Chains A and B, each alone.
Chain A
Amino acid sequence: MTEEQMLAGTIKNNASAQEALYNRFSPRMLGVCYRFAKNKEDAEDMLQEGFIKVFTQLHQYRNEGALEGWIRRIIVHTCINILKKNKKFAESVDIIHANSLHIKEDFIPSIMQAKQVVECIRILPIGYRTVLNLYAIEGFSHKEIGELLDIEESTSRSQYTRARAMLEDILIKKDILQKNQEKNTISMVLAR
């Protein structure tokens, strides 16, 4: 089924077209949700809610840009809206965490690089993780993140800086990244 057929069928509420669209994009979108969620079950809840919005709002898609990007944007906003319902999340994203926060390296799995990196992101505190996900991976600006999370733009910047430093530290400890002492730069150990 082509993308056009999927789109047309889904807008007409055709179940097989909806399923085809879901099957095509759900694995990647669940990966997105997983980076924001506490566990896979929560990620699946986010995915389900996100796809309901996708299906009900698909008629608004104007073929401007990739469909995947459009879906991804809805999924990310759904994740954030779900996270914001949690009071602890609102607190954690607005407070600068203490430097003494320790990450236990043993928690990091060692199966595959992409999964490793995602798992490393997921062990960051929720506030750090969300800002890092939005800025470094989803491409939001700090201004957009501030509006989305109801925080100051400067808070988003500082959260990101700290999140990045913490993540770099984890990735280096895990030998996924290598720190070049002389040039004080970071290089990737594994070929991409």
Chain B
Amino acid sequence: MEDNFYNDDFERFLKENADNFRMYPSKKVWHSLYNDLHPAKRWPSFAISLLLVASVLYLGITNNSSILKNQTIRPHTIVINNLSTNNHAGPFENTTALNDDKKLSEYKLNSDAKKPQPGEKNITGNTTSIIDEEPGSRTLLISGDAPSLHVNKIILSSPSTKALPQVNVMHTLNADKKIIAVALPPTSNFIKEEVNTPGEDVTDQDVKASETLTSSATASNKNNNTALAKNIVTTSQTDKEWYEDYAFHHQAISSRFKKNASFQFYITPSVGFRKLSQNNSLASNPGNNNSSLIVTNPVRSQALNDKITQSSAINIETGTTLLYNISKKIRLKTGVQFNYTSYNVNAIKLSHPVQTYLLLNNPVTGAAYLSPRVSVLANSFDDNNATTLKNNTLQISVPLGADYKITGRNNLKWYVGLDVQPTYITGGHLYALSADEKNYIEDPTLLRKWNMNAAIESFLSFKTTSGIILTLGPQVRYQFRSTYDSRFTYTEKLYNFGLKFGMLTRF
């Protein structure tokens, strides 16, 4: 490095300013780092993450709607008074809506703001900004030339809450420029502050002295649910342009995405069935002389599905889907889905184990062969004294598909949807039919781990007054590959008929 590096005021100026600049990374950076550094104890685990995300999103939906509802009734207010002038009238020229949950880039100019109350006036010629650099805190920053900046009163109000927030006046700068920064809590509570008298600097004492005002103001506010709109008064054309520029350069992609994207949570109770078929037999292996090991089934001439007593059972499906509109009628969807599939077969519990065989495919030759097993469950050819065997699986899948709007406008629409679902089977109970079809053998190793499902649905969507869209309609789900892996000579395809209930919200 060059020794004469600081030979220039300009470079020193740049260096000092750059060194003073700090930004606070989002928490995901540390979490990613942690996962990279400690792969054995990834934080948070995949399953917990999914659960958390689902919970947070669900809470987000419900809270968003309630917040929106509350805002229309009990808005927050931030008003900055200048008592050094006595202009008591006139609407705010430029008003920026402040939302507790939004960052600077999401503030938009709002020309519909309410007029100031008597005794309140804009800070003419000054700039007002919100900075939001540190997580968990927000800062109201009022800056301007000293002669024109006489902030006398800062009123922050929210009639919906009672707690007193921490409001800290951070600093003032030199004589040429004055900056008053007020740290706002993540949720602005009611507070009424006499910050300073005309011409005086802001001090911490001024803030503390206002606590008495707070309680009385809070009490009065309980009776006043028609409080002022939630505004920050700005009159600086420069800042207005800056906000617009900032929004333009930082929000375009995000806004387009938000405009077209939505999230859906759904649950589908359904009735599950299966279709059993045979994909190989000993007859396909001419050299096999083990046929004698299979005792002839008395009903062997019947169709396979008639030789067993099976019944449907309740299945459940739940998941979250990200939907993205690519046109007025079509939207793509993907997400994460959990399925519990189930059906019942009837069997009779034997008092002692019996020798039986599974008919398996030789993975090399493809020929069927008999694999000896022990069973305590006999196939029940009738329902008398039968025990119900619950065949079930737990599945996680990633649906990929699209919805098409058939018709509808405004609040009521009719869609059809189709998706394919690459599926991973995390576990389950599986009772395999023996080669002679007389017994059942529980063998979880026969469970195929990866499968492919598809679902077709038709549903009505109804937009509620709170903005949430409810969907309801029938769905059919079909499993393309056998529940059993390729070793087993039987093929089982599951299918469900269900009623899907969904709740959808925009970002």
CA–CA, A48 and B242, complex, Å: 30
CA–CA, A18 and B35, complex, Å: 12
A140 within 8 A of B: yes
**Interface bits A59-73 vs B (CB < 8 Å: 1, else 0):** 000000000000000
- Taking a contact as CB atoms closer than 8 A, the residue among A22, A32, A117, A140 that contacts B14 in the complex is A117
* Set of chain B residues within 8 Å of A15, measured between Cβ atoms: 34, 37-38
**Interface bits B216-249 vs A (CB < 8 Å: 1, else 0):** 0000000000000000000000110110011001
Interface residues on B, range: 35 or more
A98 within 8 A of B: no
Min Cβ gap B136→A in Å is 14
Binds B, one of A77-85, A89-97, A104-112: A104-112
Q: Are A186 and B29 in contact (CB under 8 A)?
A: no
* Set of chain B residues within 8 Å of A188, measured between Cβ atoms: 9, 13
- Taking a contact as CB atoms closer than 8 A, the residue among A30, A43, A113, A141 that contacts B17 in the complex is A113
Min Cβ gap A98→B in Å is 23
- Taking a contact as CB atoms closer than 8 A, the residue among B18, B25, B36, B177 that contacts A137 in the complex is B18
Q: Are A115 and B21 in contact (CB under 8 A)?
A: yes
Min Cβ gap B44→A in Å is 14
B283 within 8 A of A: no
* Set of chain B residues within 8 Å of A147, measured between Cβ atoms: none
CA–CA, A118 and B26, complex, Å: 20
B434 within 8 A of A: no
Q: Are B25 and A44 in contact (CB under 8 A)?
A: yes
Q: Are A107 and B245 in contact (CB under 8 A)?
A: yes
Q: Are B21 and A31 in contact (CB under 8 A)?
A: yes
* Set of chain A residues within 8 Å of B29, measured between Cβ atoms: 26, 44, 47-48
State whether A31 and B23 are in contact (beta carbons under 8 Å apart), knowing that A117-B17, A141-B2 are contacts in the complex: yes
Q: Which A119-176 residues have C-beta < 8 A from chain B? A: 121, 132-133, 136-137, 139-141, 144, 164, 167-168
B327 within 8 A of A: no
Q: Are A19 and B30 in contact (CB under 8 A)?
A: yes
With CB as the reference atom, state the residue of chain A lying closest to B246: A109
B310 within 8 A of A: no
B445 within 8 A of A: no
Query: What are 29 A-B contacts with C-beta separation under 8 Å?
Result: A13-B38, A15-B38, A18-B37, A19-B30, A27-B24, A28-B22, A30-B24, A31-B18, A34-B21, A35-B18, A35-B21, A44-B28, A47-B25, A48-B29, A51-B33, A52-B36, A55-B37, A106-B245, A107-B249, A109-B242, A109-B246, A110-B242, A111-B141, A115-B21, A117-B21, A118-B18, A133-B18, A177-B10, A177-B13
CA–CA, A35 and B37, complex, Å: 26
Q: Are B18 and A48 in contact (CB under 8 A)?
A: no
State whether A117 and B18 are in contact (beta carbons under 8 Å apart), knowing that A27-B23, A27-B24, A30-B25 are contacts in the complex: yes
A114 within 8 A of B: yes
- With contacts defined as CB atoms under 8 Å apart, how many contacts are there between chain A and chain B in the complex? 122
The A interface is mostly helix, strand or loop, or mixed, namely: helix
- Taking a contact as CB atoms closer than 8 A, the residue among B9, B32, B249 that contacts A186 in the complex is B9
With CB as the reference atom, state the residue of chain B lying closest to A72: B19
Q: Are B10 and A186 in contact (CB under 8 A)?
A: yes
A192 within 8 A of B: yes
B284 within 8 A of A: no
Q: A30-B25, A136-B14 given. 12 additional CB < 8 A pairs?
A: A18-B37, A27-B24, A47-B29, A48-B33, A106-B241, A113-B17, A133-B18, A137-B18, A137-B19, A141-B1, A168-B10, A190-B176
CA–CA, A28 and B36, complex, Å: 22
Q: Are B238 and A110 in contact (CB under 8 A)?
A: yes
Residue of A30, A51, A136 with highest tally of chain B CB at under 10 A: A136
B11 within 8 A of A: yes
CA–CA, A117 and B16, complex, Å: 10
Chain A residues with a Cβ under 8 A of chain B: 13, 15, 18-19, 22, 26-28, 30-32, 34-35, 39-40, 43-44, 47-48, 51-52, 55, 106-107, 109-115, 117-118, 121, 132-133, 136-137, 139-141, 144, 164, 167-168, 177, 186-188, 190-192
B131 within 8 A of A: yes
Q: Are B17 and A118 in contact (CB under 8 A)?
A: yes
Min Cβ gap B158→A in Å is 25
State whether A190 and B177 are in contact (beta carbons under 8 Å apart), knowing that A136-B11, A136-B15, A137-B15 are contacts in the complex: yes
- Taking a contact as CB atoms closer than 8 A, the residue among B129, B174, B241 that contacts A191 in the complex is B174
- Taking a contact as CB atoms closer than 8 A, the residue among B5, B25, B176, B239 that contacts A139 in the complex is B5
Q: Are B18 and A43 in contact (CB under 8 A)?
A: no
CA–CA, A177 and B8, complex, Å: 14
With CB as the reference atom, state the residue of chain A lying closest to B11: A136
CA–CA, A187 and B12, complex, Å: 12
* Set of chain B residues within 8 Å of A39, measured between Cβ atoms: 250
Q: Which 7 A-B pairs have the closest CB atoms?
A: A117-B17, A27-B22, A114-B20, A30-B23, A31-B21, A114-B21, A136-B11
Min Cβ gap A153→B in Å is 12
B505 within 8 A of A: no
B127 within 8 A of A: yes
With CB as the reference atom, state the residue of chain A lying closest to B22: A27
CA–CA, A136 and B4, complex, Å: 11
Q: Are B13 and A43 in contact (CB under 8 A)?
A: no
CA–CA, A87 and B16, complex, Å: 31
CA–CA, A44 and B30, complex, Å: 10
Q: Are B23 and A34 in contact (CB under 8 A)?
A: yes
Min Cβ gap B244→A in Å is 9
